């Protein structure tokens, strides 16, 4: 696995797992990936491990190859207007609650500001705010 491109183009990376842990202890479930990526304990941070109560009722939306690029210029890391529009269009088509994972609080605000009127309330986690304050 070569992550060199990500290490040179991104200031940080968020790794999330949408799968069941591969070990009996969730805290160690990602050790294989960290080792494969060459990450050491001083460069990673596990904030919290959440598991849904019912795995069978989850639905996922994942951007495909035809989805607009996130940045017009990856070196500048300024979000593409086409990408923001496409994300908002996808979110507007979802019926029911949705959890949107973003790479930064700034990205969350950008997407939320573009949402406008949607049928569901929009909760935004702010920097330093515990996720448990939002998810009840």
> pLDDT of 88-114, one tens digit each?
888 888 777 777 877 788 888 888 888
Asked whether residue 126 falls in the same domain as residue 63, the answer is yes
What's the pTM value of the predicted model, to 2 decimals? 0.55
Written as one string, the DSSP assignment of 62-91 is ---TTSPPSBSSTTTTPBPHHHHHHHHHHH
For the segment 83-91, the average pLDDT, to the nearest whole number, is 88
Number of domains into which the chain is organized: 2
Asked if residues 78 and 55 have their Cβ atoms less than 8 Å apart, the reply is no
Asked whether residue 72 falls in the same domain as residue 89, the answer is yes
Dihedral sign from CA coordinates of 35, 41, 47, 48: positive
Which stretch of 24-28, 41-45, 127-131 has the lowest confidence by average pLDDT? 24-28
Residue span of the structural domain in which 113 resides: 59-133
Q: What pLDDT is stored for residue 82 in this prediction?
A: 93
Domain end position, chosen among 13, 34, 51? 51
- For the chain, state the CA radius of gyration: 17
> pLDDT, tens digit, for every residue of 109-130?
888 888 876 666 778 888 777 7
- SS3 helix, strand, coil % of the chain, rounded to 5? 35, 0, 65
User: Confidence band (pLDDT; 50, 70, 90) for 62?
Assistant: confident
Asked whether residue 37 falls in the same domain as residue 64, the answer is no
Asked whether residue 42 falls in the same domain as residue 63, the answer is no
List all residues 6 or more positions away from 15 whose beta carbon is below 8 Å from its beta carbon.
Answer: 30, 33
């Amino acid at each position: 696995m070569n992550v060199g491109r990500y290490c040179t183009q991104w200031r940080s990376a968020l790794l999330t797992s949408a799968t069941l842990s591969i070990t009996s202890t969730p805290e160690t479930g990602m050790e294989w990936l960290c080792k494969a990526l060459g990450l050491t304990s001083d460069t990673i941070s596990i904030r919290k491990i959440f598991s849904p109560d019912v795995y069978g009722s989850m639905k996922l939306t994942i951007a495909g190859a035809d989805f607009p690029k996130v940045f017009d210029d990856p070196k500048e890391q300024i979000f593409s207007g086409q990408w923001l529009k496409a994300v908002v269009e996808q979110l507007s088509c979802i019926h029911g609650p949705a959890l949107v994972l973003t790479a930064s609080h700034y990205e969350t605000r950008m997407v939320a500001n573009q949402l406008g009127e949607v049928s569901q309330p929009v909760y935004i986690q702010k920097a330093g705010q515990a996720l448990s304050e939002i998810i009840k």
